[in-house]
Amino acid sequence: MHFRYALPWLSIQTVLAVSLPFADIDPSTQLNKRPLAYSEPHYPSPWMDPKAIGWEEAYEKAKAFVSQLTLLEKVNLTTGIGWGAEQCVGQTGAIPRLGLKSMCMQDAPLAIRGTDYNSVFPAGVTTAATFDRGLMYKRGYALGQEAKGKGVTVLLGPVAGPLGRAPEGGRNWEGFSTDPVLTGIAMAETIKGTQDAGVVACAKHFIGNEQEHFRQVGESQDYGYNISETLSSNIDDKTMHEMYLWPFVDAIRAGVGSFMCAYTQANNSYSCQNSKLLNNLLKQENGFQGFVMSDWQAHHSGVASAAAGLDMSMPGDTLFNSGRGYWGTNLTLAVLNGTVPQWRIDDMAMRIMAAFFKVGQTVEDQEPINFSFWTLDTYGPLHWAARKDYQQINWHVNVQGDHGSLIREIAARGTVLLKNAGSLPLKKPKFLAVIGEDAGPNPLGPNGCADNRCNNGTLGIGWGSGTGNFPYLVTPDQALQARAVQDGSRYESVLRNHAPTEIKALVSQQDATAIVFVNANSGEGFIEIDGNKGDRLNLTLWNEGDALVKNVSSWCNNTIVVLHTPGPVLLTEWYDNPNITAILWAGMPGQESGNSITDVLYGRVNPSGRTPFTWGATRESYGTDVLYEPNNGNEAPQLDYTEGVFIDYRHFDKANASVLYEFGFGLSYTTFEYSNLKIEKHQVGEYTPTTGQTEAAPTFGNFSESVEDYVFPAAEFPYVYQFIYPYLNSTDMSASSGDAQYGQTADEFLPPKANDGSAQPLLRSSGLHHPGGNPALYDIMYTVTADITNTGKVAGDEVPQLYVSLGGPEDPKVVLRGFDRLRVEPGEKVQFKAVLTRRDVSSWDTVKQDWVITEYAKKVYVGPSSRKLDLEEVLP
Ligand code: BGC
Ligand code: BGC
């Protein structure tokens, strides 16, 4: 058996890349012969804190449970049973002796993937556009309920990586916004919702998973790229803290039970064995108490990843269906021979069980898994990959509840009105002409393309693992026609982009109100659509959408454009055409698409969505892009985040560049006025760096040291082909490992302190017993209030936004720090209130390794978007 037992603690890539001569590398692609970015070692891996706030009870329950476990049982918790081994996209080993069933890990961020009778919610990006904490929570809760109803233990979302460094990034829509504060709030609300429903949430993909190209070696090779290691996201310490890490810290504070480390490397060390990321940032500095699982095939070593802070290997085999694991047998061996200390495997088991108990699950009342990710057939093999144990595997349980109405509401409230020259809201239009493929159905059916691997008909969601089967998909054509019929309007639609004769004949008729539906799409890297390998190749509309918009608007002087896209597209050539009387961004709305857009177009919902990213005039104007070609010979492609914290609006503001629609922008059918900004300063005292130390690493229970106890018990149950077990195949440990280097000791290849279980000093930026860092960071230093008056004729929601200028020469012009969504009746004045914590006014000091409030004068702004900052005041 292949055993990557002796893999160095930094990835091989780090070690080699720094010393490798570049002689073999094509000179046109070499990186100026400079040393590659480097990730510092941080050991030992922090163990759980029994007094961590919010985790105390879960810790006690986990302790009682884990203390009874054998070593094999602990290993079973940490290691997936292999790709396709049973029903879910990932499952752990069971502990039948104590009644614990195999835990089910299942995608994902907007639906329960691969099953039936589930809902398809709006994507993260549309949810973010609501700027509505309550809706974010409700969506998380509803997703949690559906997961629970299917027997899922861990729901593999929400997503804060990608954050959206490059607008072309394929999976940006699975996450929320390019702004870390908005994303962080959406993460926290989603997690609270999901976990309140009794399912463990998973904050993913940690971290720097900002593009699909080169995220996996095999996938890249299949596309014809000759690379031997995955992309390295090279992120400096300040950018890491102020941008990419920020929303993940909010996830920790919300009590998230699990994290998923990414496929990519960070600073040339694989995320799932990167001790800086997992030991230092996640568990030490930010006190994360749950467990870290690998992304699927993102696990690349045995002992090295255990020492670096990984707690669970998913789906458990080295490569799908290899029949071998870096852990499983090898982790059992590593503990038995002392290479992995008992406290580390105990800590893994503790973290997994604590997350399980924290969300209210119990060993006695686990929901049975009632679906199969691999098929919708009612009967099939339980052990899918092995084609073994034919039985009922799908119960087709309807878990949708009344979520349809919530989905409709989120998508309507997340629709952004970008332009309105007065054509909206519609009032019983005489003749409605709806144009475009994106208004109609996929002729193959809403689920006609597995994992949504096609772009036919209206775009409800993107493609990849972040999808689900639609229970139905209300198209814009269906919903608008129903409304037109009800109103007595004439209604005709042409659901093709390439029918100029028919379209012209229709929309050039007198009294036509034309609504053109267009889209662009993106998704996960394992699927390529039309040359787009996950990441978008460009920011233009698909299927000649631009030509369609231009044509229709040349024939009809009342043309309304609706966009279904994962992020920005270029509207530059036509957005200011006077014949285009309205533009709406409907994002990725999920199953109620048509109803949601109809609600907004007719004013049943007064639009108040805000764009969670900037609409630039050109692709280049964003200043960041996907790396599409390897740039380091056949070694790991290097993606340097040279722009630092300046992505999206931070970048456009710094460049003083004009944009089409700025971050936070969105119109309403009414108007609002802002007045009376007030800042109240609170007495919170000085920031106190944390001092002191942890307890020494505890162990729970003990384990047999006789090798005979670990041999596969062939008499008790049959061996399942390709299944990953914790057992040895004989009492010969070296032979069982199958590793030529078996016998190397930990100190021969692990870094100093990797196995040190003694009490460890606390970091000044960390919090004693406080997940999320030093608790003083969350002291409320200011309360900001302003008055918002509805100066129009209809009731509407307004989203006042609070921005701060941190004042330093290296700081962005403004950064979002708060927002609310307020209902305001015509003529009514309401108060907007938001708070600023110490973190909100601090910057990461790379020398102190802590947050500091700089000496620069700071300002507060309140307004309806990042560039319409109506009110401002110096921060006292
Ligand atoms: C994706 C994850 C997903 C996992 C399991 C991976 O390819 O990156 O987001 O949770 O597969 O489907
Ligand atoms: C885009 C492609 C996309 C295609 C789909 C084109 O405009 O350039 O990226 O695949 O539309 O029709």
Span 93-127, pLDDT tens digits: 999 999 999 999 999 999 999 999 999 999 999 99
* Ligand 1 proximity of 465 Cβ (cutoff 6 Å): yes
The answer for residues whose C-beta is within 8 angstroms of residue 697's C-beta and 6 or more apart is: 44, 47, 341, 343, 344, 347, 757, 758
| Dihedral sign of CA atoms 258, 264, 268, 272 in order | positive
Residue-wise DSSP of 718-764:
PPPTT---S-BSSS-HHHHHT-TTTT--HHHHSPTTTT--S--BPPT
pLDDT, position 22:
34
Residue-wise DSSP of 300-338:
--SHHHHHHT--BBSSSSSSTT-S--SSTHHHHHHHHTT
What is the 542 CA–ligand 2 centroid distance (Å)?
A: 5
Nearest CA to ligand 1 atom 2: 295
Top mutation candidate among 455, 496, 532, 626 for ligand 2, by most atoms within 8 Å of CB:
532
d(C-alpha 406, C-alpha 139), whole Å:
8
What is the 636 CA–ligand 1 centroid distance (Å)?
A: 21
Q: Which two tokens stand for residue 296?
A: 């699927």
d(C-alpha 230, C-alpha 220), whole Å:
9
Q: Which atom of ligand 1 is nearest to the CA of 174?
A: 9
Give one word for 198, left, alpha or beta, with left for phi > 0 and alpha for psi -120 to 50.
Answer: left
Tens-place pLDDT, residues 546-597: 999 999 999 999 999 999 999 999 999 999 999 999 999 999 999 999 999 9
Any idea which ligand is nearest the CA of 294?
A: 1
pTM: 0.95
d(C-alpha 774, C-alpha 767), whole Å:
4
The answer for residues whose C-beta is within 8 angstroms of residue 604's C-beta and 6 or more apart is: 412, 598
- Residue ranges of alpha helices (H) inside 342-443 are 342-358, 403-413
Long-range contacts of residues 424-429, Cβ cutoff 8 Å, at least 24 apart: 424/560, 424/581, 424/582, 424/601, 424/603, 424/669, 425/601, 425/602, 425/603, 425/669, 426/513, 426/601, 426/602, 426/603, 427/602, 428/487, 428/488, 428/489, 429/484, 429/487, 429/489, 429/513
Q: Which amino acid is at 4?
A: R
The Cβ of residue 164 has, within 10 Å, a number of other Cβ atoms equal to 29
Q: Give phi and psi for 189, each to the nearest 5.
A: -65, -40
Q: Which atom of ligand 2 is nearest to the CA of 541?
A: 7
Q: Which amino acid is at 341?
A: P
What is the 575 CA–ligand 1 centroid distance (Å)?
A: 37
Please tell me what DSSP assigns to residue 381. E
Greatest Cα pair distance, the chain, in angstroms, is: 89
Any idea which ligand is nearest the CA of 523?
A: 1
Nearest CA to ligand 2 atom 12: 543
433: nearest Cα among 476, 493, 473: 493
Any idea which ligand is nearest the CA of 456?
A: 2
d(C-alpha 436, C-alpha 768), whole Å:
57
Any idea which ligand is nearest the CA of 297?
A: 1
What is the 465 CA–ligand 1 centroid distance (Å)?
A: 6
Helix (H, G, I), strand (E, B) or coil at 675: strand
Residue-wise DSSP of 811-836:
S-S-EEEEE--EEE-TT-EEEEEEEE
* Ligand 1 proximity of 298 Cβ (cutoff 6 Å): no
The answer for residues whose C-beta is within 8 angstroms of residue 248's C-beta and 6 or more apart is: 160, 161, 187, 203, 206, 207, 259, 282, 286
pLDDT, position 747:
83
Nearest CA to ligand 2 atom 7: 542
Nearest CA to ligand 2 atom 4: 542
**Which residues' Cβ are closer than 6 Å to ligand 2?**
530-532, 537-538, 540, 542-543
Active site residue 487: no
What is the 550 CA–ligand 2 centroid distance (Å)?
A: 17
pLDDT, position 748:
85
Q: How far is CA 600 from CA 322, 487, 723, in A?
A: 51, 16, 51
Q: Within 13 Å and on the Cβ side, how many CA atoms surround 613? A: 30
Nearest CA to ligand 1 atom 11: 296
* Per-residue b or e along 494-505, where b marks 16 or more CB atoms closer than 10 Å to that residue's CB: bbebeeeeebbe
Counting as low any pLDDT under 70, the low residues of the chain are: 1-34
Contact 168, 625 (CB under 8 A): yes
* Ligand 1 proximity of 156 Cβ (cutoff 6 Å): yes
Any idea which ligand is nearest the CA of 171?
A: 1
Any idea which ligand is nearest the CA of 546?
A: 2
Helix (H, G, I), strand (E, B) or coil at 801: strand
Query: Which entry of 132, 250, 295, 546 is annotated as an active-site residue?
Result: 295
Top mutation candidate among 212, 529, 537, 542 for ligand 2, by most atoms within 8 Å of CB:
542
pLDDT, position 26:
41
Q: Which atom of ligand 1 is nearest to the CA of 159?
A: 9
* Ligand 1 proximity of 296 Cβ (cutoff 6 Å): yes
What is the 468 CA–ligand 2 centroid distance (Å)?
A: 24
Contact 581, 532 (CB under 8 A): no
Q: What string of H, E and C letters represents the secondary structure of 156-179?
A: CCCECCCCCCCCCCCCHHHCCCCC
What is the 267 CA–ligand 1 centroid distance (Å)?
A: 22
Q: Which atom of ligand 2 is nearest to the CA of 544?
A: 7
The Cβ of residue 669 has, within 10 Å, a number of other Cβ atoms equal to 19
What is the 785 CA–ligand 2 centroid distance (Å)?
A: 46
pLDDT, position 617:
98
Q: Which atom of ligand 1 is nearest to the CA of 209?
A: 8
Give residue for tokens 């004949």: 505
Give residue for tokens 């231009």: 550
Nearest CA to ligand 2 atom 1: 542
Long-range contacts of residues 811-817, Cβ cutoff 8 Å, at least 24 apart: 811/843, 811/856, 812/645, 812/646, 812/649, 812/650, 812/653, 812/654, 813/650, 813/653, 813/654, 814/653, 814/861, 814/866, 814/869, 815/181, 815/650, 816/179, 816/181, 816/182, 816/663, 816/664, 816/866, 817/181
Q: Which atom of ligand 2 is nearest to the CA of 545?
A: 7
| End-to-end C-alpha distance for the chain, whole angstroms | 65
Nearest CA to ligand 2 atom 8: 538
Top mutation candidate among 88, 465, 524 for ligand 1, by most atoms within 8 Å of CB:
465
Tens-place pLDDT, residues 630-644: 999 999 999 999 999
Helix (H, G, I), strand (E, B) or coil at 564: strand
What is the 433 CA–ligand 2 centroid distance (Å)?
A: 25
Contact 834, 818 (CB under 8 A): yes
* Ligand 1 proximity of 107 Cβ (cutoff 6 Å): yes
d(C-alpha 145, C-alpha 152), whole Å:
10
Top mutation candidate among 454, 455, 530, 541 for ligand 2, by most atoms within 8 Å of CB:
530
* Ligand 1 proximity of 108 Cβ (cutoff 6 Å): yes
- Residue ranges of alpha helices (H) inside 243-391 are 246-253, 275, 303-308, 329-336, 342-358
460: nearest Cα among 594, 583, 562, 568: 594
Q: Crossing angle, helix 403-413 and helix 133-150, to 10 degrees?
A: 150
Q: Which atom of ligand 2 is nearest to the CA of 543?
A: 12
Contact 592, 474 (CB under 8 A): yes
Q: Which atom of ligand 1 is nearest to the CA of 156?
A: 10
Nearest CA to ligand 2 atom 10: 530
Q: Crossing angle, helix 342-358 and helix 329-336, to 10 degrees?
A: 130
d(C-alpha 356, C-alpha 571), whole Å:
47
What is the 381 CA–ligand 2 centroid distance (Å)?
A: 40
The Cβ of residue 60 has, within 10 Å, a number of other Cβ atoms equal to 13
Nearest CA to ligand 2 atom 3: 542
Any idea which ligand is nearest the CA of 203?
A: 1
* Ligand 1 proximity of 295 Cβ (cutoff 6 Å): yes
What is the 296 CA–ligand 1 centroid distance (Å)?
A: 6
Top mutation candidate among 453, 454, 540 for ligand 2, by most atoms within 8 Å of CB:
540
What is the 547 CA–ligand 2 centroid distance (Å)?
A: 12
d(C-alpha 495, C-alpha 137), whole Å:
36
d(C-alpha 392, C-alpha 382), whole Å:
8
What is the 431 CA–ligand 2 centroid distance (Å)?
A: 31
d(C-alpha 515, C-alpha 870), whole Å:
33
pLDDT, position 32:
52
Tell me how far the alpha carbon of residue 118 is from its chain's centroid. 20
